Amino acid sequence: MSEVEAVVFDLDGVLVDSEHVWDEVREALARERGGRWHERAQADMMGMSSTEWSRYMHDAIGLAESPEEINAEVVRRMLDRYSSELPLVPGAVEAVERLGAGFRLAVASSSNRPLIDAVLSASGLDERFEVTVSSEEVARGKPAPDVYLEAARRLGVPPARCAAVEDSGNGIRAAHAAGMRVLAIPNRRYPPPSDALALADVVLDSVEKLTPTVVSA
Protein backbone atom coordinates (compact mmCIF):
# COMPACT_ATOMS: atom_id res chain seq x y z
CA MET A 1 0.00 0.00 0.00
CA SER A 2 1.27 3.46 -0.91
CA GLU A 3 1.73 6.06 1.78
CA VAL A 4 -1.62 7.62 2.67
CA GLU A 5 -1.91 11.34 1.88
CA ALA A 6 -5.66 11.88 2.19
CA VAL A 7 -8.60 10.55 4.17
CA VAL A 8 -12.04 10.44 2.53
CA PHE A 9 -14.97 10.24 4.95
CA ASP A 10 -18.40 8.90 4.28
CA LEU A 11 -21.03 11.13 5.92
CA ASP A 12 -24.11 9.13 6.91
CA GLY A 13 -23.28 6.65 9.64
CA VAL A 14 -19.70 7.91 10.04
CA LEU A 15 -19.99 11.60 10.90
CA VAL A 16 -23.74 11.86 11.43
CA ASP A 17 -25.93 9.09 12.86
CA SER A 18 -28.57 9.52 10.22
CA GLU A 19 -29.37 6.21 8.56
CA HIS A 20 -32.39 5.73 10.85
CA VAL A 21 -33.49 9.30 10.09
CA TRP A 22 -33.44 8.55 6.36
CA ASP A 23 -35.37 5.37 7.09
CA GLU A 24 -38.02 7.15 9.16
CA VAL A 25 -38.47 9.98 6.65
CA ARG A 26 -38.76 7.73 3.60
CA GLU A 27 -41.02 5.22 5.35
CA ALA A 28 -43.33 7.99 6.59
CA LEU A 29 -43.55 9.46 3.10
CA ALA A 30 -44.23 6.03 1.57
CA ARG A 31 -47.02 5.28 4.03
CA GLU A 32 -48.58 8.74 3.66
CA ARG A 33 -48.63 8.41 -0.11
CA GLY A 34 -49.88 4.81 -0.26
CA GLY A 35 -46.57 3.14 -1.11
CA ARG A 36 -45.66 -0.50 -0.55
CA TRP A 37 -42.98 -0.15 2.16
CA HIS A 38 -41.16 -3.37 3.15
CA GLU A 39 -38.45 -4.35 5.61
CA ARG A 40 -35.68 -4.55 2.98
CA ALA A 41 -36.29 -1.06 1.63
CA GLN A 42 -33.75 0.76 3.79
CA ALA A 43 -31.03 -1.83 3.17
CA ASP A 44 -31.76 -1.72 -0.56
CA MET A 45 -31.37 2.08 -0.65
CA MET A 46 -28.24 2.41 1.51
CA GLY A 47 -25.51 3.93 -0.64
CA MET A 48 -27.77 4.70 -3.58
CA SER A 49 -27.48 8.15 -5.12
CA SER A 50 -30.51 10.44 -4.86
CA THR A 51 -31.35 9.66 -8.48
CA GLU A 52 -31.29 5.94 -7.73
CA TRP A 53 -33.22 5.87 -4.45
CA SER A 54 -35.90 8.31 -5.63
CA ARG A 55 -36.46 6.07 -8.65
CA TYR A 56 -36.60 3.07 -6.31
CA MET A 57 -39.25 4.87 -4.24
CA HIS A 58 -41.23 5.45 -7.43
CA ASP A 59 -40.74 2.05 -9.07
CA ALA A 60 -40.39 -0.45 -6.20
CA ILE A 61 -42.27 1.31 -3.39
CA GLY A 62 -44.92 2.56 -5.80
CA LEU A 63 -45.17 6.29 -5.09
CA ALA A 64 -47.10 8.10 -7.80
CA GLU A 65 -44.98 11.27 -7.74
CA SER A 66 -42.03 11.60 -10.08
CA PRO A 67 -38.58 10.64 -8.74
CA GLU A 68 -37.65 14.34 -8.83
CA GLU A 69 -40.65 15.26 -6.66
CA ILE A 70 -39.93 12.39 -4.25
CA ASN A 71 -36.30 13.44 -3.95
CA ALA A 72 -37.17 17.08 -3.26
CA GLU A 73 -39.71 16.17 -0.57
CA VAL A 74 -37.37 13.75 1.23
CA VAL A 75 -34.56 16.32 1.22
CA ARG A 76 -36.94 18.98 2.58
CA ARG A 77 -37.95 16.69 5.43
CA MET A 78 -34.34 15.70 6.16
CA LEU A 79 -33.30 19.35 6.35
CA ASP A 80 -36.19 19.98 8.78
CA ARG A 81 -34.98 17.13 10.99
CA TYR A 82 -31.38 18.35 10.91
CA SER A 83 -32.42 21.90 11.73
CA SER A 84 -34.12 20.74 14.93
CA GLU A 85 -31.47 18.18 15.93
CA LEU A 86 -28.23 17.22 14.19
CA PRO A 87 -27.39 13.65 15.30
CA LEU A 88 -23.60 13.85 15.15
CA VAL A 89 -21.77 10.61 15.90
CA PRO A 90 -20.01 10.98 19.27
CA GLY A 91 -16.32 11.62 18.67
CA ALA A 92 -16.74 12.38 14.96
CA VAL A 93 -15.76 16.06 15.14
CA GLU A 94 -12.70 15.21 17.21
CA ALA A 95 -11.70 12.45 14.76
CA VAL A 96 -11.87 14.85 11.82
CA GLU A 97 -9.77 17.40 13.67
CA ARG A 98 -7.30 14.70 14.72
CA LEU A 99 -6.77 13.45 11.18
CA GLY A 100 -6.86 16.92 9.64
CA ALA A 101 -3.56 17.69 11.36
CA GLY A 102 -1.74 15.19 9.19
CA PHE A 103 -3.86 14.37 6.15
CA ARG A 104 -5.85 16.15 3.48
CA LEU A 105 -9.55 15.51 3.99
CA ALA A 106 -12.57 14.94 1.76
CA VAL A 107 -16.16 13.72 2.02
CA ALA A 108 -17.66 11.20 -0.41
CA SER A 109 -21.34 10.81 0.41
CA SER A 110 -24.56 9.41 -0.97
CA SER A 111 -26.39 12.34 0.60
CA ASN A 112 -27.69 15.17 -1.54
CA ARG A 113 -25.54 18.28 -1.81
CA PRO A 114 -27.83 20.45 0.39
CA LEU A 115 -27.68 17.84 3.17
CA ILE A 116 -23.89 17.51 3.03
CA ASP A 117 -23.53 21.27 3.23
CA ALA A 118 -26.06 21.55 6.08
CA VAL A 119 -24.35 18.88 8.20
CA LEU A 120 -20.84 20.26 7.70
CA SER A 121 -21.94 23.84 8.34
CA ALA A 122 -23.91 23.02 11.50
CA SER A 123 -21.10 20.86 12.89
CA GLY A 124 -18.44 23.45 12.14
CA LEU A 125 -16.55 20.97 9.97
CA ASP A 126 -17.03 22.73 6.64
CA GLU A 127 -13.61 24.38 6.85
CA ARG A 128 -11.90 21.05 7.55
CA PHE A 129 -12.66 19.41 4.21
CA GLU A 130 -10.95 20.48 1.00
CA VAL A 131 -13.34 18.51 -1.16
CA THR A 132 -16.91 17.23 -0.78
CA VAL A 133 -18.61 15.03 -3.35
CA SER A 134 -22.23 13.90 -3.51
CA SER A 135 -23.06 10.78 -5.46
CA GLU A 136 -25.70 12.85 -7.28
CA GLU A 137 -22.68 14.53 -8.95
CA VAL A 138 -21.33 11.28 -10.44
CA ALA A 139 -22.76 8.64 -12.76
CA ARG A 140 -23.37 5.86 -10.23
CA GLY A 141 -23.93 5.62 -6.48
CA LYS A 142 -22.26 3.19 -4.11
CA PRO A 143 -21.30 0.29 -4.38
CA ALA A 144 -19.84 1.68 -7.62
CA PRO A 145 -16.56 3.49 -6.89
CA ASP A 146 -17.50 6.70 -8.73
CA VAL A 147 -17.94 9.02 -5.74
CA TYR A 148 -14.61 7.95 -4.23
CA LEU A 149 -12.77 8.23 -7.52
CA GLU A 150 -14.20 11.72 -8.00
CA ALA A 151 -13.09 12.76 -4.51
CA ALA A 152 -9.54 11.56 -5.27
CA ARG A 153 -9.62 13.35 -8.63
CA ARG A 154 -10.68 16.65 -7.06
CA LEU A 155 -8.00 16.29 -4.38
CA GLY A 156 -5.39 15.50 -7.01
CA VAL A 157 -4.32 12.44 -5.00
CA PRO A 158 -4.13 8.91 -6.50
CA PRO A 159 -6.79 6.61 -4.99
CA ALA A 160 -4.04 4.28 -3.75
CA ARG A 161 -2.80 7.13 -1.55
CA CYS A 162 -6.24 7.67 -0.01
CA ALA A 163 -7.91 5.99 2.96
CA ALA A 164 -11.69 5.80 3.12
CA VAL A 165 -13.78 5.69 6.30
CA GLU A 166 -17.02 3.74 5.82
CA ASP A 167 -19.81 2.10 7.82
CA SER A 168 -22.02 0.30 5.28
CA GLY A 169 -21.63 -2.69 3.02
CA ASN A 170 -22.16 -0.70 -0.17
CA GLY A 171 -19.79 2.00 1.03
CA ILE A 172 -17.06 -0.48 1.87
CA ARG A 173 -17.47 -2.09 -1.55
CA ALA A 174 -17.27 1.32 -3.25
CA ALA A 175 -14.10 2.39 -1.46
CA HIS A 176 -12.47 -0.99 -2.05
CA ALA A 177 -13.37 -0.88 -5.76
CA ALA A 178 -11.78 2.58 -5.95
CA GLY A 179 -8.51 1.09 -4.75
CA MET A 180 -8.40 2.95 -1.44
CA ARG A 181 -7.33 1.70 1.97
CA VAL A 182 -10.64 0.92 3.69
CA LEU A 183 -11.24 1.70 7.35
CA ALA A 184 -14.59 0.22 8.38
CA ILE A 185 -16.61 1.33 11.39
CA PRO A 186 -19.61 -1.02 11.08
CA ASN A 187 -23.01 0.62 11.38
CA ARG A 188 -24.65 -0.80 14.49
CA ARG A 189 -28.21 -0.32 13.30
CA TYR A 190 -27.55 -1.65 9.79
CA PRO A 191 -24.39 -3.79 10.03
CA PRO A 192 -22.57 -4.54 6.77
CA PRO A 193 -22.68 -8.14 5.56
CA SER A 194 -19.65 -10.27 6.31
CA ASP A 195 -18.53 -10.49 2.68
CA ALA A 196 -18.35 -6.69 2.47
CA LEU A 197 -16.65 -6.33 5.84
CA ALA A 198 -14.00 -8.79 4.68
CA LEU A 199 -12.91 -6.22 2.08
CA ALA A 200 -11.90 -3.70 4.76
CA ASP A 201 -8.24 -3.27 5.65
CA VAL A 202 -9.10 -2.29 9.22
CA VAL A 203 -12.28 -2.72 11.27
CA LEU A 204 -12.86 -0.36 14.21
CA ASP A 205 -15.66 -0.40 16.75
CA SER A 206 -16.01 3.39 16.92
CA VAL A 207 -14.86 6.59 15.25
CA GLU A 208 -13.04 7.40 18.49
CA LYS A 209 -10.51 4.69 17.54
CA LEU A 210 -9.73 6.46 14.27
CA THR A 211 -6.17 7.75 14.69
CA PRO A 212 -3.35 8.77 12.34
CA THR A 213 -1.55 5.53 13.22
CA VAL A 214 -4.55 3.41 12.15
CA VAL A 215 -4.83 5.36 8.91
CA SER A 216 -1.20 4.87 7.98
CA ALA A 217 -0.49 1.39 9.36
Q: What pLDDT score does 217 carry? A: 79
pLDDT one-digit tens code per residue, 80-106 = 999 999 999 999 999 999 999 999 999
pLDDT one-digit tens code per residue, 55-69 = 999 999 999 999 999
pLDDT one-digit tens code per residue, 30-40 = 999 999 999 89
Give the other-Cβ count within 10 Å of 111's Cβ: 25
Say if residue 68 is in the same domain as residue 102: no
DSSP letter string over 120-163? HHHHT-TTT-SEEEEGGGSS--TTSSHHHHHHHHHHT--GGGEE
Kindly give, in sequence order, each residue whose CB lies less than 8 Å from that of residue 110, ignoring residues fewer than 6 positions away: 11, 12, 46, 47, 48, 49, 50, 134, 135, 141, 142, 147, 171
Say if residue 11 is in the same domain as residue 118: yes
Q: Which amino acid is at 203?
A: V
Spatial contact of 19 and 187, defined as CB atoms under 8 Å apart: yes
pTM value > 0.85: yes
At residue 73 the predicted structure's pLDDT band, cuts being 50, 70 and 90, is very high
pLDDT one-digit tens code per residue, 119-159 = 999 999 999 999 999 999 999 999 999 999 999 999 999 99
Range of the domain at 192: 6-17+87-216
Say if residue 61 is in the same domain as residue 150: no
Domain of residue 52, CATH code: 1.10.150.240
What is the average per-residue pLDDT within 155-166? 98
Give the other-Cβ count within 10 Å of 190's Cβ: 16
Q: What pLDDT score does 90 carry? A: 97
pLDDT tops 90 at residue 43: no
Backbone φ and ψ of 182, nearest 5°:
-110, 120
Q: What pLDDT score does 130 carry? A: 98
